[in-house]
A and B are shown apart, each in its own frame.
Chain A
Amino acid sequence: MHYTVGEPIQDAKAPEGPVEERWDKRRFAAKLVNPANKRKLRVIVIGTGLAGGSAAATLGELGYQVTSFCYQDSPRRAHSIAAQGGINAAKNYRGDGDSIYRLFYDTVKGGDFRSRESNVYRLAQVSVNIIDQAVAQGVPFAREYGGLLDTRSFGGAQVSRTFYARGQTGQQLLLGAYQALERQIAAGTVTMHTRHEMLDVIVSGGRARGVVVRDMVTGEIETHLADAVVLASGGYGNVFFLSTNAKGCNTTAIWRAHRRGAYFGNPCYTQIHPTCIPVSGEYQSKLTLMSESLRNDGRVWVPKTKGDSRPAHEIPEVERDYYLERIYPSFGNLVPRDIASRAAKNVCDEGRGVGPGGLGVYLDFADAIRRLGRDAVEKKYGNLFEMYERITGENPYEQPMRIYPAVHYTMGGLWVDYDLQSTVPGLFVIGEANFSDHGANRLGASALMQGLADGYFVLPTTVGDYLAGAGDFGDIAQEDIEEAVGQVQDKIDRLLSVQGDRTADSFHRELGKIMWDYCGMERSEESLRKALELIPELKKEFWARVKVSGVNEELNQALERAGRVADFFELAELMCLDALHRTESCGGHFRAESQTEEGEALRDDDAFAYVAAWEWNPDGTPVLHKETLEYEYVKMTQRSYK
């Protein structure tokens, strides 16, 4: 697969001037729409997670006509609901030296200097409003005995700024947004379509003017028209088949938008979470995250000897390798996510992994139980131990947990400017679906913050500015609508007509394995070239052998999956191409050829301090547009955790 280099992106539209004044400037400069006109303007929002749910609710509150879609049976199911840890905010309620500037600084550094300063500063500014909003909605955050909000500290920060609701912060924040959304549905400003999947964007006169969706109950292909379209359809981690994402998470909405002209930013940036429950067999359908907090008391180890298959308790102390403590004496078991993940992969590659298939490492609480007592450990981690036992059938009080890294989050996504607008005018992208704020690595408790910042506060301002010019948008050409519907229909017909002998899931699993093996935790020129050979072959086989039973005109889950897998194939190629072209290592993207003597990620700021924004090209040769990143405030440095 080849690519060409196109014109660089000159202007991401952030205002000039001191970073702390930019968002105020943008807000003041944004044109307003008067209330009578808002009622005549329609905005489509795809997805109802933290970003989409909060955006649709807020646009409804402002008086726009909103049409919202989700593929689940209720907007409350979106996968934001599964986020465990918490949400960062620069409230400085602890008086421990936190500030908007410090959250900004930590996030830029945590992103390994591959995000935009203007965007990140705004995120830190808005973070304080999110907590206020959520509390006013009745989100039951953890509190102290004095009645004030409790916070905890999280990876990548030295202050305590993470607000949480036990291990279910995502659930509680999402229900807050969902309830605000339902209130607008009742008020008639938002029309909700559940069990609908977006399959294409309608672009007319150079602007996004609607979407093509499939009613997943009847199979009917519908068109919905609007003055602006907002994609909040989440990340694409399921390209790996196994990930911590929900089963339904997919790339179709953003991939179809990409094919309609929206650039794709940094597709190769993937976050691998180190503490997940390992795969138990070929039938495995998804991976479950175990909170990272376990690494505070658990010790990670594998046998010193290759192929040692004795049960853990029969391996004497001297024959165990506590490899994180050995390699990183100062951070030990608490090294950042990417480092812990890669180290686990390395020992398993050496043949020292434990459990089925040798793809696991021990996380051992025996010392903690001896030191603190079983009761204290149970108090701290009881619910996690229970969850682990439920899934594996093993008791972590008696034998060490087995953990292994899993795909968790995608920092890449559709490229957007400071206004969260893609390269297709009128097409906005928010939450995990865009590429914007996390650079090459996302810090813990920052995903919830970004989704809600985009949905409650940023998008409602910037989309208003765009819609103020709606008078000049013109009519939507019938042929543009028909062309999009035709494409959707063709794809469905093709999927149904193959009638081969393999399920879409079996192809998806195989694609996922290619991606995991060759474009996963560690990438090299050789592995990526291999992936770029294998993926097109498998894609070809998919279109020759896939079997979809049933018809379109019914609830057909086989058809839904096949359509998503077809798009994952195309995305997978672009991810590998992006990973291949970026010969440096940064954040979650580790290139074997670019590491320090100690084996750490080595950035190449001279060559790669840019966003890679890829333009779709129907002839199969993507065009790379570079957006140079400049750091006026945070000095670029190399991370070290030794």
Chain B
Amino acid sequence: MSTMNLTLRVWRQKGPEDKGRMVTYKVVDVSPDMSFLEMLDVLNDRLIVEGDEPIAFDHDCREGICGMCGMVINGVPHGEQRATTTCQLHMRHFNDGDTITIEPWRAAAFPVVKDLVVDRTSFDRIIQAGGFISVPAGSAPDAHSLPVQKDAADAAFDAATCIGCGACVAACPNGSASLFTAAKITHLGLLPQGQPERDSRAKAMVEQMDAEGFGGCTNTGECTAVCPKGIPLSTIARMNRDYLSAK
């Protein structure tokens, strides 16, 4: 496959107070083997040498697990490739001559910091409200003193694979953080270790989610469709049950 020439329309915003706008860039000789972020690296190198500011975007591990990267590509969080973070998206899924639109996560509870960088500390505060099991270091009993059914352990693991990227929020028409919050409530609520705090956890985390300005869930399922880790919608039903029974 030969190289591609592309047109990028990228959201540029100097800071939270700036209104922001789309800016068009041409990129040439893009290799199909490049990752999406490497394509942006090459553009940024050019911008820096020309004395412009590089496009700011969050990224770190570049192997799909840290959850730091994330941009809305052609209207879809992390792009159209399913179960893929932005850093794992490769240019071979695009065609020569394409125009690609790149925007930040857009949600009331994720204010833009600069360009494609948003503030997701609201997620940390939801975890602070109760996304843990209270067990100070050194106080744990022997690990085999509490067997866990394999099915429960596996299901807990599935929910625990959430990487906290926020794509679910960006995809949701209501800007809801239900999938993120439900994944943690499900992970801990399925394990015997998580039972003592199960009610208080669900209540506190849901209330914090609301307090942060995330919208409510209306079961559109957009969240799970874009989730790079495939967290299922059923976790939200479980969160709702735990929340209601906690009252």
Interface residues of A (CB under 8 A from B): 54, 57-58, 61, 72-79, 81-82, 91, 93, 129, 131-138, 140-149, 165-166, 168, 171-172, 175, 178-180, 182-183, 185-186, 192, 194, 217, 246-248, 280-281, 283-286, 288-289, 390-393, 456-457, 460, 501-503, 505-506, 547-550, 554-558
Q: Is the CB of B114 within 8 A of A555?
A: yes
Our pick among A91, A246, A460, A556 for the contact of B137 (Cβ within 8 Å) is A460
Give the complex CA separation of A536 and B86 in angstroms.
Answer: 37
Given A73-B68, A171-B161 in contact, is the A547-B48 Cβ separation under 8 Å? yes
Q: Which residue of B lies closest to A175 (CB)?
A: B160
Q: Which residue of B lies closest to A456 (CB)?
A: B137
Q: Which residue of A lies closest to B39 (CB)?
A: A283
Q: Is the CB of B164 within 8 A of A74?
A: yes
- Residues in B with CB closer than 8 Å to A501 are 49
How many A-B residue pairs have C-beta atoms within 8 angstroms? Tell me.
224
Interface-central residue, B58, B157, B188, by most chain A CB under 10 Å: B157
Those of B42-58 within 8 Å (CB) of chain A: 42, 44-45, 47-49, 51-54, 56, 58
Q: Which residue of A lies closest to B52 (CB)?
A: A549
A sample of 17 inter-chain contacts (CB < 8 A) reads A72-B68, A73-B58, A79-B61, A133-B135, A135-B146, A137-B135, A138-B188, A140-B160, A144-B150, A186-B128, A284-B38, A285-B37, A390-B84, A391-B88, A392-B33, A393-B33, A503-B49
Given A61-B137, A165-B157 in contact, is the A217-B113 Cβ separation under 8 Å? yes
Our pick among A180, A505, A555 for the contact of B41 (Cβ within 8 Å) is A505
Given A138-B187, A217-B113, A285-B37 in contact, is the A246-B61 Cβ separation under 8 Å? yes
B66 proximal to A (CB < 8 A): yes
Q: Is the CB of A194 within 8 A of B59?
A: no
Q: Which residue of A lies closest to B55 (CB)?
A: A557
- Return the 6 tightest CB-CB contacts between A and B, nearest first: A147-B147, A136-B140, A179-B132, A140-B157, A186-B128, A132-B140
Q: How far is the CB of A600 from chain B (nearest CB, A)?
A: 32
Given A74-B164, A77-B68, A136-B133 in contact, is the A281-B140 Cβ separation under 8 Å? no
B98 proximal to A (CB < 8 A): no
- Residues in A with CB closer than 8 Å to B139 are 136
Give the complex CA separation of A141 and B35 in angstroms.
Answer: 32
* 9 further contact pairs, Cβ within 8 A, besides A74-B121, A247-B60, A549-B52: A76-B67, A77-B61, A77-B67, A137-B193, A147-B150, A149-B144, A393-B33, A393-B92, A457-B137
- Residues in A with CB closer than 8 Å to B119 are 73
- Residues in B with CB closer than 8 Å to A558 are 44, 48, 53-54
B62 proximal to A (CB < 8 A): yes
Q: How far is the CB of A273 from chain B (nearest CB, A)?
A: 13
- Residues in B with CB closer than 8 Å to A166 are 157
Give the complex CA separation of A146 and B51 in angstroms.
Answer: 63
B97 proximal to A (CB < 8 A): no
Our pick among B54, B67, B133, B187 for the contact of A557 (Cβ within 8 Å) is B54
Interface residues of B (CB under 8 A from A): 14-15, 31-35, 37-39, 41-42, 44-45, 47-49, 51-54, 56, 58-63, 65-68, 84, 88, 90, 92, 113-114, 117, 119-121, 123-124, 127-129, 131-144, 146-150, 153-154, 156-157, 160-161, 163-164, 187-188, 191, 193-194
Given A171-B161, A555-B113 in contact, is the A132-B142 Cβ separation under 8 Å? yes
Q: Which residue of B lies closest to A284 (CB)?
A: B38
Give the complex CA separation of A72 and B165 in angstroms.
Answer: 12
Our pick among A58, A72, A180, A456 for the contact of B132 (Cβ within 8 Å) is A180
Q: Which residue of A lies closest to B135 (CB)?
A: A136
Q: How far is the CB of B200 from chain A (nearest CB, A)?
A: 13
Interface-central residue, B15, B65, B92, B191, by most chain A CB under 10 Å: B65
Give the complex CA separation of A144 and B123 in angstroms.
Answer: 33
State the main secondary structure of chain B at its contact with A: loop
Q: Is the CB of B132 within 8 A of A280?
A: no
Q: Which residue of B lies closest to A89 (CB)?
A: B143
- Residues in B with CB closer than 8 Å to A77 are 60-61, 66-68
Q: Is the CB of B41 within 8 A of A283?
A: yes
- Residues in A with CB closer than 8 Å to B131 are 179, 182
Q: Which residue of B lies closest to A54 (CB)?
A: B137
- Residues in A with CB closer than 8 Å to B56 are 555, 557
Q: Is the CB of A76 within 8 A of B164?
A: yes
Q: Which residue of B lies closest to A61 (CB)?
A: B136
- Residues in B with CB closer than 8 Å to A178 are 127
Give the complex CA separation of A456 and B153 in angstroms.
Answer: 24
- Residues in B with CB closer than 8 Å to A283 are 31, 34, 38-39, 41-42
Give the complex CA separation of A632 and B153 in angstroms.
Answer: 43
- Residues in A with CB closer than 8 Å to B51 are 547, 549
Our pick among A91, A175, A392, A549 for the contact of B54 (Cβ within 8 Å) is A549
Q: Is the CB of B49 within 8 A of A555?
A: no
Q: Which residue of B lies closest to A149 (CB)?
A: B143
Q: Is the CB of B143 within 8 A of A132?
A: yes
- Residues in B with CB closer than 8 Å to A554 are 14-15, 114
Our pick among A136, A182, A285 for the contact of B193 (Cβ within 8 Å) is A136
- Residues in A with CB closer than 8 Å to B154 are 140, 143
Q: Which residue of A lies closest to B89 (CB)?
A: A390
- Residues in A with CB closer than 8 Å to B149 are 143, 147
Given A138-B194, A281-B31 in contact, is the A246-B60 Cβ separation under 8 Å? yes
- Residues in B with CB closer than 8 Å to A54 are 137
Q: Is the CB of B133 within 8 A of A137?
A: yes
Q: Which residue of B lies closest to A141 (CB)?
A: B153
Q: Is the CB of A58 within 8 A of B136?
A: yes
Interface-central residue, B31, B47, B68, B143, by most chain A CB under 10 Å: B143
Given A180-B132, A285-B37 in contact, is the A129-B191 Cβ separation under 8 Å? no
Give the complex CA separation of A82 and B138 in angstroms.
Answer: 25
Q: Is the CB of A143 within 8 A of B129?
A: no
Give the complex CA separation of A503 and B157 in angstroms.
Answer: 42
Q: Is the CB of B90 within 8 A of A140?
A: no
Give the complex CA separation of A82 and B45 in angstroms.
Answer: 27
Q: Which residue of A lies closest to B118 (CB)?
A: A73
Q: Which residue of A lies closest to B63 (CB)?
A: A288
Q: Is the CB of A248 within 8 A of B60?
A: yes
Our pick among B61, B62, B137 for the contact of A57 (Cβ within 8 Å) is B137
- Residues in A with CB closer than 8 Å to B66 are 72, 77-79, 81-82, 246
Q: Which residue of B lies closest to A195 (CB)?
A: B113
Give the complex CA separation of A57 and B48 in angstroms.
Answer: 40
Q: How far is the CB of B173 from chain A (nearest CB, A)?
A: 24
Q: How far is the CB of A421 from chain B (nearest CB, A)?
A: 20
- Residues in A with CB closer than 8 Å to B128 are 182-183, 185-186
Q: How far is the CB of A288 from chain B (nearest CB, A)?
A: 5
- Residues in A with CB closer than 8 Å to B34 are 280-281, 283
Q: How far is the CB of A635 from chain B (nearest CB, A)?
A: 33
Give the complex CA separation of A504 and B116 in angstroms.
Answer: 21
Q: Which residue of A lies closest to B47 (CB)?
A: A549
Give the complex CA separation of A456 and B149 in angstroms.
Answer: 27
Give the complex CA separation of A501 and B131 in angstroms.
Answer: 48
Give the complex CA separation of A165 and B33 in angstroms.
Answer: 31
Q: Which residue of B lies closest to A499 (CB)?
A: B51
- Residues in B with CB closer than 8 Å to A557 are 54, 56
- Residues in B with CB closer than 8 Å to A180 are 132, 135, 137
- Residues in B with CB closer than 8 Å to A140 are 153-154, 156-157, 160, 187, 191
Given A147-B148, A246-B62, A555-B56 in contact, is the A129-B140 Cβ separation under 8 Å? yes
- Residues in B with CB closer than 8 Å to A172 are 157, 160
Q: Which residue of A lies closest to B162 (CB)?
A: A175
Q: Is the CB of A82 within 8 A of B121?
A: no
Given A285-B35, A286-B62 in contact, is the A182-B124 Cβ separation under 8 Å? yes
Give the complex CA separation of A505 and B146 in angstroms.
Answer: 50
Q: How far is the CB of A174 from chain B (nearest CB, A)?
A: 9
Give the complex CA separation of A101 and B187 in angstroms.
Answer: 35
Give the complex CA separation of A135 and B53 in angstroms.
Answer: 46
- Residues in B with CB closer than 8 Å to A460 are 137
- Residues in B with CB closer than 8 Å to A285 are 35, 37-38, 41, 62
Q: Is the CB of B124 within 8 A of A74?
A: yes
